[in-house]
Structure 1
Amino acid sequence: MSIKGKRNEPGALAGEAREGGYPPHLRRLAAYAVDPALSRGRLYPEPVDPTRSLYQRDRDRILHSAAFRRLNYKTQVFIYHEGDHYRSRLTHSLEVAQIARSIARTLRVDEDLAEALALAHDLGHPPFGHAGERALDAAMQVAGNFDHNAQSLRVVTALERRYANFDGLNLTWETLEGLVKHNGPLLGPVATAPVPDQILAYCARHDLELATYASLEAQAAALADDIAYNNHDIDDGYRAGLVGLDELAEVPIVRAMLETVRAAYPGISGGRLLNEMNRRLISAMIEDVIAETSRQLETLAPRSADDVRHAGRAMVAFSETMRAGVDELRAFLHTRVYRHARIERIMREAGSVVRDLFVRYSADPFSLPAEWREQAPEPGTQGYARHVADFIAGQTDRFALEEHRRLFDATPDLR
């Protein structure tokens, strides 16, 4: 089912706006922004909300979802019990949302849509970060693979069950489109991988137009993700003792910022120096994205959100100079933090927890909790394997370890 072109009925704000629209005196959106008054709506029509736009409602539904709360105990880089100051998936998502709103506000696009996408972008991540995803994907090779982006779509369209009239959160077309395509088109010449079956299945009933780019709001959320994780992984890596300031200074954009801070504050050192450098680097990246995107917009001169979708390239981007610097930083973090011997050992053990759980749940349906057992398809089918993957993907690090202790004699300590 496609609802492309469907318009909402006039709203309750003195006839000034359709559902999700803003009264004229509050409108500040650019022509190329996603206009909530022109939304393609929701898969299941709902009454107008008199106080919130469509994308404010989407944001609020994401914030109140169980999947969002569980992000608090899901790994970003460091397992939850390693310390209270390391980022979790939840705190990472909040930092992404703050940066996305800053970019969206300056570009005069819809802040609420950008924020909703930033908050939702990691909902499909399984426990233990990318190690958990790799283990779950390997286990699912015979049943359609596992992809965290596709899983995010499953969470918001099927697995959250809070409403009487539908499964999922019944988010708008624009939010679902941005969630699926924030990193670029999934079909066509620039696509880099096969489209996950779960996304294709959903698009068969609600076409998200996989061959086009997403909105500027979605692109802003995607770049905000890059800015957030590159910078907070510097901070977390330093706090964990994996990298020192001298090692960080090997990265040109970090070294330049450290020198600037030291020149401004002679004698500054340690964590205060790192924090001052970090906040300035975040600001520099945001300012670079805004400047480069403004140049792209001036060249293309889009008059609508659809012009952005059909531009043939991403409009929200780093300049070539900043992109090169970010690539150097990302390579450094991969070598010195993500592939640090301590992190790799913990993540190998974490992957074994996920593999063990998948094998056990698959072989023994009675090892599943009663609610999940009662809802399960026939054991041994691809549908049952997907059901097991859904259960594991929704687990926090803490719950996965508790389940492993319940089902097995020995569980890794992950420290």
Structure 2
Amino acid sequence: MDMPLHDSMGSMIHLTLGRIELDWGKNSGFSDHSALFRPDDLTTIPYYYAGDSDDLECAHLPLIQRREDFSYRLITEMKEGYSAPLKVVARRLLLLGHTDAYCRQEFQWHAEDGYLHHDFTFDELKAILATADFSDAHLSPEKGSESLAEFLLTHVFPKYGPEAPQRLQISWPDGGEVDGLSAYTVIRLLADNPTAQELPITWQFVDVADGGWAPRAAFDAPLRQSSRFLIVTEGSSDVHILKHGLQLLYPDLADFFDFVDMKENYPFSGTGNLYNFVRGLISIKVQNNIVVIFDNDNEGVFNWERCARLRTPANMRIVKLPDLERFQSFRTVGPSGEHLGDINGKAAAIECYLDTGSEPQVRWTSYDQRRDSYQGAIVGKEGLQKAFLAQKSVDQTYDYSGLTAILAMLISECVFIAEAEAKALLDTERIDQIAGEGPETIEE
């Protein structure tokens, strides 16, 4: 007789780090972790089951003794499930709002309410998880799975020396959460640990699906709209470049971003139209998470500054392309001839952030009295666009530094939105709990 390690009755579902169990559910009572993974992360992963110790079919397997003082033989089966390295999942969690600040707030909440079962401070726990050796957490068929508390007690705390039992008191309860902290907080606290970054985060869902507790299609669902970000720019070329840049440089995050549909005609071409569009979004109190990006040229900065005076909602961020040091001394040509000039805020459209070669040049085109400055454009921008969009994979000889600066800014703005939403939800959940009106749990 075979049964999941956690329970002999019902269909089990597990979220694990290597062989460390981070979260589990049973039948219809489980958390949806699909947002941690991309469709390409669906693969074949190990599932562990406890076979009857007297089962002749299991006689060739090693006998394992558990804390509960019963014996079983471990059976490993390869089935469908999700798997991605911890470092990838930790980055995705940032865009879900699970930042270090969120983790600290969650920890403090549980500390204040007396849920913690150890004497660590948040910074001490963060230091322990960031520096502990997780090499022994790799998948090991003869060991099955264990809790994070078990792993720390067995493999980590003994290395602190004989005083560890007195200083590092720990009595974490069994359950889906580790000491009251969510699995996502544990993953985030391990994000900087070099021995854990390549460990697989796996979601073993197939038994629940096969048991009829949830439709199989539910585990292939794309990110919910509330977790996605709509990116709005001045023109279609900006969209093409940003979208392609995410696919090339941040493929593990690209599914978080949507762009304005431009199959027919891009509806917001021109900075003046984009400014008016932003005003319209604010007036109708749009619910989508939105990042508006203006170019770093004369016209773009003018309208970005106008938008900065608007009362934007918490789910909207308005930015311009970042200033770059290399733009401070750029070859330019205009009515007064060729000179080295600072093109930040004057002529730095998105093409300037691509690999522009050894001798790029900006041509000044028109004078803007509103900012007492000339507007300019880089020479040969169409060729720069085509060369970049033709790339099928990362080219080690190509200079992506400018584009990386844009994408890092974009991701940072999205994390800012997601973090605020997640922390507000955490506060609401605590208020509900204090009031005795917390969410109902699923009972079987």
Shorter-chain TM-score range: under 0.3
TM-score, normalisation: structure 2: 0.25
Q: Which has the larger radius of gyration?
A: 2
In proportion to residue count, which structure has more strand? 2
- With CA pairs under 8 Å and 6+ residues apart, which has the higher RCO, 1 or 2? 1
